[in-house]
A = this chain, B = another copy of it.
Amino acid sequence: MTSKFFAIIAGVGAGTGRSVALRFAKSYPVVLLARNPQSYSDIVSEITSSGGQALGISADTSDADSLASAFKTIKDELKDQHLAAAIYNVGSGFAVKPFLDFTPSDLEASLSSNARGLFNFAQQTLPLLLSSVSASPPHPPSLIVTGATASVRGSPRFATFAAGKFAARALTQSLAREFGPQGVHVAHVIVDGVIDIPRTKQWEANGGVEDGKINSDAIAESYWHLHTQHRSAFTQELDLRPYVEKF
């Protein structure tokens, strides 16, 4: 990889992660992180076969050591390059059930992927993003975090998922306020709707109307817009939802 800047996307697979990877790969080499190679291998192929550069690395963001090891590899592989954008899009599946049916491990799963994983990812990427500020990046170095309806609303039967998502939003706000003045753009995106991916094909959403589920390429366009915002006009948070979504 020879470009001066690169991007990292944690949490790829179908949907947002893949679309964001493809979008950012138009401008940067991209590093894709996922727990299992099968989550990123097809995307790596897709990017490289169309002339982009992509590197997949297996890592568990909720495990500080696993992530540190992945970043050691990244620094080795991309030495002399600067981190332009870091996207945190890790999502565990989540359980939806009456509160008294949840177990402590349901809560742990949500806290791990949403809070602990973001914490670790931010600790690894922010030093790199900070050092990019002075490297004449084309756009302000950015950390963008994927949120959900549950980031701002504790719905019944969503207690554990909301706990993790609220926590991630808290981290993101705090990071925005600390690192914004240092030139790093930290943004949070509330994805409020069902994303149109193979796994959700059978899901009923908005009565089955056209575009009633979110096109993940459209999400990626907004991430790219966030990344390219001028530092005098940073967005800290925006929502994304289908035109027919109730909210």
Contacts and interface: CB of A to CB of B under 8 A. Distances in A.
Interface string A56-72: 00000000100000000
A135 interface: no
15 contacts: A99-B178, A107-B115, A111-B116, A115-B163, A154-B174, A156-B178, A162-B171, A162-B174, A163-B171, A167-B170, A196-B232, A219-B233, A232-B242, A235-B239, A238-B238
A31 interface: no
Nearest to A101: B123
Contact of A177 (B140, B168, B247): B247
Nearest to A158: B174
Interface of A: 64, 98-100, 102, 104, 107, 111, 115-116, 119-120, 122-123, 126-127, 140, 150, 153-160, 162-181, 183, 185, 193, 196, 211-215, 217-219, 221-222, 225, 228-247
Contacts of A164: 167
B119 A107 contact: yes
Contacts of A222: 225, 229, 233, 235
A63 to B, nearest CB: 10
Copies of this chain, count: 4
A142 to B, nearest CB: 11
Contacts of A221: 225, 228-230, 233
A240 B246 CA distance: 23
The 10 A-B residue pairs with the shortest CB-CB distance in the complex, in nearest-first order = A154-B173, A218-B233, A154-B174, A218-B230, A166-B170, A162-B170, A159-B174, A238-B238, A166-B166, A156-B178
